[in-house]
Amino acid sequence: MARRRFAARLHHVGLAATSLLAACGGSDLPAGGAEPLADGTFARIQRSIIEPGCAGCHRSGSSDARQSGLVLSADSSWQQLVGVVSVQPLARADGLLRVKPFRADSSLLYHKLAWIPGHHSRDYGNVMPMGTLQGLSMGQLEYVRRWIEAGAPRTGHVVDTLVLRDVRTQVASFSPLAPPPAGAGLQLVVDSFPVPPRNERELFVYRPLGNTSELFVNRIESRMRPGSHHFLLYSFDASRTTFPCNVRPAPNLVRDLRTADGVPIAINLLPMACHVFFAGAMTSEFDYRFPPGVALRLPPNAALDLNAHYVNRSPATFPGQAMANLYTVPRAQVQTVATTLNLGNTSFTLPPRQRTTVRTEFRNPTRLTVLALTSHMHALGERFEIRLRRANGSESTVYVNTDWEHPAFTNFPTPLVLEPGDALVSVVTYNNVTDRSVGFGLLSTDEMNIIFGYAY
């Protein structure tokens, strides 16, 4: 149903034709076992690849570490990589481990580091290191690959360091997504904008679709320039009729969430309180198709708020840019109109200085087919779990998110069917580290508790 491809379209530049990989000699195997363990192959990967290029994001407590579940500090990286199951649903489904000893092709780490064109047929998230337009050198990539093929040991010298002499770099490239053919849909774009060096930018653009009659969307495809953290499309909750939800943002204006110094721009934060998830992706490429005969309806004169978040860890400015194609079908081809789920709890209290888990049941009076789920909480939220509770009381977890800033979007290849009396249950754990009681509210210092998704 959903066809997903790998994140970025990338290629490497070939510089030197000389293949140093084929050269012989120059092993880093210790001459007489004299070298300390700290100089082994993995120690070199840690020191020369992970510490300079990865550990800044993958550090304990960071948003990146929460999203990836991966801390790459010297004392934890081997344990967290080797033999460990990935947090990526597709990588898990394909039987990959982060590092599977002796099998680079079954190791997510290798796939994340290889920017080679045509390398990726499956979407395992962004290529690494994220937030830069340059990947590892071909030599470094080969060094990691051979380390895995040699069993990925924590200590010992198992790869010839001569491979590192291949200094050709992998470079990101980007080709914009072509709009749907005439009559087949429309394209929404966040135009190219500069992301300053060692900084980030998150912004919104409210785009009127220009449709005079209703639209039925059966496929949503998006693409972002490399370096993006996420790209989301929101509509507005029409049932909220008080300020600020009775005011729509000015159309086609770029609204930054923070100044270059990181200070929140309050007026631009306000509309976020009224958003309803429409579509979105955490990866550079995304393609969601509704099942045959199913489509989302957009009313005449619809508009969507586009949200792009870019992180630039490099020393030079690079451009951010994102585009989404909404493919439409004639009304006559739609047997079932899907809706966006919007199941929120607005009455909960989080006492100060403690963890609280809020459980909310949304019982279903009719049959409901759930195609995809995502969630919304704010900064105190640590874990958002969605469970499917059957009328007989049995419960199973169908969705988990641990990064409030970048909620997972889980698409069910086999839809979840809720019979009357079954319920979707949100189980949200908050850690209220503040000195005041916190409840539902629209400000970023308040909390939220909403299940979003597609269903019919």
435 alpha-carbon distance from chain centroid: 32
Q: How far is the CB of 453 from ligand HEC (least distance, A)?
A: 20
126 part of the interface to ligand HEC, by CB under 6 A: yes
Sort residue 231 into left (φ over 0), alpha (ψ -120 to 50) or beta. Answer: beta
Handedness of CA 161, 162, 163, 165 (dihedral sign): positive
Q: How far is the CB of 80 from ligand HEC (least distance, A)?
A: 9
Nearest to residue 80, comparing CAs of 65, 90, 93, 92? 65
Q: How far is the CB of 250 from ligand HEC (least distance, A)?
A: 31
Q: Is 142 exposed, middle or buried (0-12, 13-18, 19+ CB in 10 A)?
A: buried
408 part of the interface to ligand HEC, by CB under 6 A: no
**Residue with Cβ nearer ligand HEC (87 or 388):** 87
Q: Is 374 exposed, middle or buried (0-12, 13-18, 19+ CB in 10 A)?
A: buried
Answer for which of 8, 42, 53, 152 binds ligand HEC (CB under 6 A) is 53
Asked whether 125 and 88 are in contact (CB, 8 A), the reply is yes
* Dist. CA 266–CA 233, nearest whole Å: 20
The residues in 54-113 that bind ligand HEC, with binding defined as CB under 6 A, are 54, 57-58, 64, 67-70, 86-88, 98, 108-109, 112
**Residue with Cβ nearer ligand HEC (48 or 336):** 48
Sketch the per residue contact string, 169 through 208, with ligand HEC: x for CB under 6 A, - otherwise: ----------------------------------------
**Residue with Cβ nearer ligand HEC (284 or 328):** 284
Q: How far is the CB of 342 from ligand HEC (least distance, A)?
A: 25
Cis, peptide link before residue 244, omega less than 30° from 0: yes
Answer for which of 46, 283, 364, 449 binds ligand HEC (CB under 6 A) is 283
Nearest to residue 380, comparing CAs of 438, 450, 451? 438
Q: How far is the CB of 68 from ligand HEC (least distance, A)?
A: 3
The residues in 247-266 that bind ligand HEC, with binding defined as CB under 6 A, are none
Q: How far is the CB of 55 from ligand HEC (least distance, A)?
A: 8
Q: How far is the CB of 276 from ligand HEC (least distance, A)?
A: 24
Asked whether 452 and 276 are in contact (CB, 8 A), the reply is yes
Q: How far is the CB of 119 from ligand HEC (least distance, A)?
A: 15
* Dist. CA 334–CA 419, nearest whole Å: 23
**Residue with Cβ nearer ligand HEC (128 or 215):** 128
Answer for which of 40, 129, 185, 381 binds ligand HEC (CB under 6 A) is 129
The residues in 301-340 that bind ligand HEC, with binding defined as CB under 6 A, are 311, 313
Sort residue 301 into left (φ over 0), alpha (ψ -120 to 50) or beta. Answer: left
Q: How far is the CB of 183 from ligand HEC (least distance, A)?
A: 34
**Residue with Cβ nearer ligand HEC (271 or 381):** 381
The CA angle 205-257-400, to the nearest 5 degrees, is 90
Asked whether 404 and 381 are in contact (CB, 8 A), the reply is yes
For residue 338, CA distances in Å to 8, 52, 412, 455 come to 29, 46, 15, 5
**Residue with Cβ nearer ligand HEC (69 or 179):** 69
Asked whether 451 and 426 are in contact (CB, 8 A), the reply is yes
Answer for which of 43, 71, 97, 130 binds ligand HEC (CB under 6 A) is 130
Q: How far is the CB of 173 from ligand HEC (least distance, A)?
A: 18
* Dist. CA 195–CA 260, nearest whole Å: 10
Q: How far is the CB of 72 from ligand HEC (least distance, A)?
A: 6
45 part of the interface to ligand HEC, by CB under 6 A: no
344 part of the interface to ligand HEC, by CB under 6 A: no
**Residue with Cβ nearer ligand HEC (200 or 422):** 200
**Residue with Cβ nearer ligand HEC (110 or 327):** 110
Q: Is 313 exposed, middle or buried (0-12, 13-18, 19+ CB in 10 A)?
A: middle
Binding site for ligand HEC (CB under 6 A): 49-50, 53-54, 57-58, 64, 67-70, 86-88, 98, 108-109, 112, 125-126, 128-131, 282-283, 311, 313
